[in-house]
């Protein structure tokens, strides 16, 4: 659950002065290296989990939102964010969970979508805000051969955020990041 790629930061920043409110852009860079523990290809920033990075009462405060209500990674993510910021020179870091507005896959960045695809997970298709109970099933592209000739195997996959699909052209099974 430890954030990756922080060795460089820790080494160079240990000697420097404690980070202040002027270092918030730097904090964003730090969080861009904190990976989601269940989908380690994408960072918490790519996924749109980080909603705000601010300064309050003399310390950095990060607002995050859970992807799914029962996502067991939420606490690990909180901890990873706090650890990463402290390792990067912020003396105290507060991480607060907010439910509102509710997380949507529309917040996954373009870069995040590309990383998901490269990792073998088909990114969410279309806009969550336009989907409803009676919507037609989405067109899901195979992350390996890009075919749109795919079929759903199960509404749910290895984690709450994914569904299981199969490509009818290259025959590979793959995870689809559900659009919510």
Partner 1 sequence: MQKYDDLTEFVLRMGDSALIQAQRLCEWTGKAPALEEELALMNVGLDLVGQARNWLDYAAELIGDGTDADALAYRRDERNYRNVLMVEQPNGDFAVTMLKQFLYDVWQFHMLSKLRESKDDRVAAIATKSLKEVTYHLRRSSDWIKRLGDGTEESHQRMVKAIDDVWRFTYDFLQLTEQENALIDSQVIGDVRDVAAQWQTKVNAVFVASTLTVPKPAEPFYLNSREGVHSECLGALLAEMQYLQRAHPNASW
The residue ranges that bind partner 1 (CB under 8 A) are: 66, 68-72, 99-104, 128, 132-133, 153-160, 164, 178, 180
Binding site partner of 142, from Zn ion, partner 1, none, Cβ cut-off 5-8 A by kind: Zn ion
- Rounded (to 5) percent helix, strand, coil in the chain: 25, 20, 50
Binding site partner of 158, from Zn ion, partner 1, none, Cβ cut-off 5-8 A by kind: partner 1
Q: How far apart are CA 47 and CA 104, in angstroms?
A: 9
Q: How far apart are CA 39 and CA 18, in angstroms?
A: 31
Q: Which is nearer to Zn ion, 90 or 176 (CB)?
A: 176
* Least CB distance to Zn ion at residue 135 (A): 24
- The sheet carrying 162-167 orders its strands as 121-122, 173-177, 162-167, 150-154
* 167 forms part of the interface with Zn ion (CB under 5 A): yes
Among 73, 142, 161, 179, binds Zn ion (CB under 5 A): 142
Contact 79/46 with Cβ under 8 angstroms?
A: no
Site of interaction with Zn ion (CB under 5 A): 142, 144-145, 147, 167, 169-170
């Amino acid at each position: 659950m430890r954030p990756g790629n922080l060795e460089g930061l820790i080494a160079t920043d240990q000697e420097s002065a404690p980070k202040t409110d002027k270092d918030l852009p730097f904090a964003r860079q730090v969080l861009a290296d904190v990976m989601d523990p269940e989908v380690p290809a994408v960072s918490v920033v790519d996924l749109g989990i980080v909603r705000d990075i601010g300064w309050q009462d003399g310390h950095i405060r990060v607002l995050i939102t859970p992807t799914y209500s029962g996502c067991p990674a939420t606490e690990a993510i909180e901890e990873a964010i706090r650890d990463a910021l402290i390792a990067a020179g912020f003396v105290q870091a507060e991480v607060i969970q907010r439910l509102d507005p509710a997380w949507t896959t529309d917040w996954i960045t373009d870069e995040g979508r590309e990383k998901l695809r490269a990792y073998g997970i088909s990114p969410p298709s279309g806009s969550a805000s336009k989907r409803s109970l009676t919507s037609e099933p989405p067109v899901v592209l195979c992350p390996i051969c890009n075919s749109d000739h795919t079929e759903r195997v199960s509404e749910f996959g290895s984690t709450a955020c994914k569904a299981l699909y199969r490509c009818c052209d290259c025959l590979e099974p793959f995870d689809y990041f559900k659009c919510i």
